[in-house]
């Protein structure tokens, strides 16, 4: 029986193990270094970037508040605008004065179809400053904007955030207020025809409209919309027809842009912190 010793085999195995061990140590060191760098970046975001973004947000939101036509964050809110809303064939014409969050004057005329008459019937009414038509959406949006600004004001500029949860809580509050404010202007609350006819605003009209008619003013995105609703009884079935006129409101467009920019800025910081946490 021959005992053969193959030269170099043991040494080769030791070298392979040493190389593998060295590689593992390098990988661990790289992972440790990466973890340290991430921790340094995370702490920098908590201590520096959060306050910088909050300061930037505050500047944007104060500018947004300045565009509102109601008293808000040192804004006196005495803005007044006049608009003309029409539709083709003179089916509807409305000249309104918008002061703050209310229509303080309006001359309204529109045509309605009466089934017992040939052609259309002209209907006229008006709004005067003694009994203004309230646009609740404006005040709702302003209140939510004020809440967002308050959430930022409540954070001391010298405060050191210690955890991501602290920051995410603050950002969540700001985002919530901004989303509610923007939604107030973009998506009007739906009302039934019965609610419209019985609304307090209908009492602002002089003279009052017949019982089968209702009107509505509301905001949708950057537009002021005036809608007419006519209730009819056809063989015992109640239904309603509607048509509307609209116009663009410049300050609304500015406000919505600033809301959107603020939401994006806030969400980007929230995403960054969630990713590094």
In this predicted model, what pLDDT tens digit does every residue of 208-234 receive, in sequence order? 999 899 999 999 999 999 999 998 877
Average pLDDT, the chain: 86
Contact predicate 70/142, CB 8 Å: yes
Q: What is the pLDDT of residues 147-156, one digit of tens each?
A: 999 999 999 9
Over residues 57-62, mean pLDDT: 96
Q: With a cut of 60, say whether residue 37 has pLDDT above it.
A: no
**Residue 199 clears pLDDT 60, i.e. is over it:** yes
Give the torsion sign (CA, 37, 41, 42, 43): positive
State the number of CA atoms in the 13 A half-sphere of 117 facing the CB: 8
pLDDT, tens digit (0-9, with 9 covering 90-100), for 72-84:
877 787 788 999 9
Provide the residue ranges of all domains of the chain, joining segments of one domain with +.
Answer: 43-77+134-276
For 40-71, b/e burial (b = at least 16 CB within 10 A) is eebeebbeeebbebbeebbebbbebbbbbbbe
More confident residue, 131 or 23: 131
- φ/ψ (deg, to 5) at 137: -60, -35
Residue written as tokens 């392979």?
A: 16
Q: Is omega for the bond preceding 207 within 30 degrees of 0, making it cis?
A: yes
Check pLDDT > 90 for residue 28. Answer: no
CA atoms 259, 264, 265, 269: torsion sign: positive
């Amino acid at each position: 029986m021959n005992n053969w010793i193959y030269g170099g085999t043991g040494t080769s195995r030791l070298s392979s193990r040493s190389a593998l061990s060295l590689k593992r140590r390098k990988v661990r060191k790289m992972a440790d270094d990466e973890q340290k760098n991430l921790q340094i970046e995370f702490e920098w975001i908590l201590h520096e970037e959060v306050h910088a973004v909050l300061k930037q947000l505050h500047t944007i939101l104060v500018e947004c508040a300045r565009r509102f036509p109601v008293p808000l964050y040192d804004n006196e809110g005495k803005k007044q605008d006049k608009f003309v809303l029409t539709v083709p064939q003179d089916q509807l014409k409305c000249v309104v004065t918008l002061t703050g969050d209310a229509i303080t004057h309006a001359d309204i005329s529109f045509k309605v179809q009466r089934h017992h008459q040939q052609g259309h019937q002209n209907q006229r009414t008006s709004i005067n400053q003694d009994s203004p038509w309230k646009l609740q959406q404006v005040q709702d949006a302003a209140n939510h904007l004020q809440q967002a600004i308050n959430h930022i004001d409540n954070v001391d500029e010298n405060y050191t955030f210690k955890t991501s949860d602290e920051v995410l809580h603050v950002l969540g509050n700001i985002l919530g207020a901004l989303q509610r404010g923007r939604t107030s202007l973009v998506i009007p609350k739906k009302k039934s025809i019965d609610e419209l006819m019985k609304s307090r605003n209908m009492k602002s009209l002089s003279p009052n409209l017949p019982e089968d008619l209702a009107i509505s003013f509301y905001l949708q995105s950057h537009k002021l919309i005036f809608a007419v609703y006519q209730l009819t009884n056809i063989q015992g079935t109640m239904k309603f027809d509607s048509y509307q006129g609209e116009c663009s409101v410049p300050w609304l467009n500015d406000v919505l842009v600033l809301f959107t920019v603020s939401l994006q800025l806030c969400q980007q910081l929230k995403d960054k912190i969630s990713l590094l946490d």
